[in-house]
Structure 1
Amino acid sequence: MMRTATAGAAIAIAAVSATGVAWAQSLDSAIDRGVQRTAQAQSQQDQIDEVFEQTQERLREYQDVQKQIDNLEVYLAQLERQVANQDRELTSINTSIEKVTLIERQVTPLMLKMVDALDQFVELDVPFLLDERRGRVDKLRDLMDRANVTVAEKFRTVTGAYQTEMEYGRTIEAYRGVLPGETEREVDFLRFGRVALLYQTLDQTRVGMWNPVSGSWEQLPREYVGQVTQAIRIAREQAAPDLVRLPIKTAETAE
């Protein structure tokens, strides 16, 4: 009986052992499959992560491109406004050019008349600084014939010459020049605006003045020598301003 029980126990143990081995093998197999599935899942997750990162990168690139497009649209809109303004300015400039051309056609004859009038004025005026003033008129005539000078510059020069002539009427001046006559001599001239033009010999012994009525030079009494000398010194800023007594002859006085 004991042997039979022992043998049965051995058989039972052997059966259990066989079952345990089979179960262990099955468990190992299940674990291997689980590990494989985990590895596959991890690989798939890595792929998903990679795809996600690529998607995010593409999204960022798209956003950057979209931002550039938005900026370009704003820039193009600004350019369109600038082009529109330039078109308006171009139209205005063309209109101005047409007006300038018209003005030039009108101003040029006027300037030529102004130069002629200035020439006549110098010849009929009190004969002071004649060489300088005649030379200025000659330069104006040469200027009017030059094609490389703008009409604006010509007009500015002509009006400048008129301004210079106007200044003569508000200033006093002493200068050295040649007194015309049968015997030309160097003298000191004294100009009081356009009211009086006098001269004094360099030895300060004789004085005279221009008579606008007769259109000639005439000698003054010696009593005016001191007055003319003092006036010349004042005009040259060699003496303080003071009152001087000088004869004044005008066409109105003669009448």
Structure 2
Amino acid sequence: MKNKWKIGMIFILILIVGVGCNNQEASDGTPTEDTNQQVENTELLISTAASLTDAMTEIEKAFEDEYSDIDVSFNYGSSGTLAQQIQQGAPADAFLSADQKWMDTLEEENLILPETRIDFTGNKLVLISQKDHSLEISSFEDLNPAEIGDLAIGNPESVPAGTYAKEVLTKLNKWEGLEKHLILAKDVRQVLTYVESGNTELGIVYSSDAFISDQVKIIAEASSDWHTPVIYPAAVTADSKNADSAKRFIEFLQTEEAQSILNQFGFIK
């Protein structure tokens, strides 16, 4: 009986010592199974107008410095193409458009959250050529079908910069005369590339696009009376699974830090 009692006491002591060691490991900060588990960051995918590419690279860094638990990636393209992707069910947590038309379209179809919609920046429309190209043109009014080669613009059906360009040329009664000279691009950055490479003599882009290139020069700026105001809206998509984080990103676009970055890249408020 005494031996059984002794064995029982030894077993109890072993249990007490074992529990004490485990508690000591936790109190010393030694990783346990729970503390080894890492919390995954929220991943945001933002469908973004191509003209915002360079500015968003910097804004992404600034945002992630402030919100280290959120990782942002961008799907760049023309606003029309991006809107159509969202209509077809492509994943996106937010939409940053280069015009109001495509955002209005998504809102009418209940594909964005209207209460999150804001206007966060603006732009100007300019006529450009290669930097070393000598053309006797100093304004949009000088565009003469008999005196110019090809003119690149975004496709007016899906590219806001192209829609604005068509409005300008129509206002100046030049659209019909220049139609045969037009090279239609998939987005405004492709227009810039056409001019930089010399594939076209001229192009119509945003001032922010010309700003980031050292291979083109601005010939003229379109009067704001000739086209719809170039305003960039943003909104969280209705199907976003990370709506709160996406809303944080959109709110960040309105901060002084983000606005300063946009200004540095030629955007206007």
TM-score of the aligned structures, taking structure 2 as reference length? 0.22
User: Higher RCO, 1 or 2 (CA under 8 Å, sep at least 6)?
Assistant: 2
TM-score of the aligned structures, taking structure 1 as reference length? 0.23
Q: Which has the higher strand share?
A: 2
Q: Which has the larger radius of gyration?
A: 1
Q: Which has the higher helix share?
A: 1
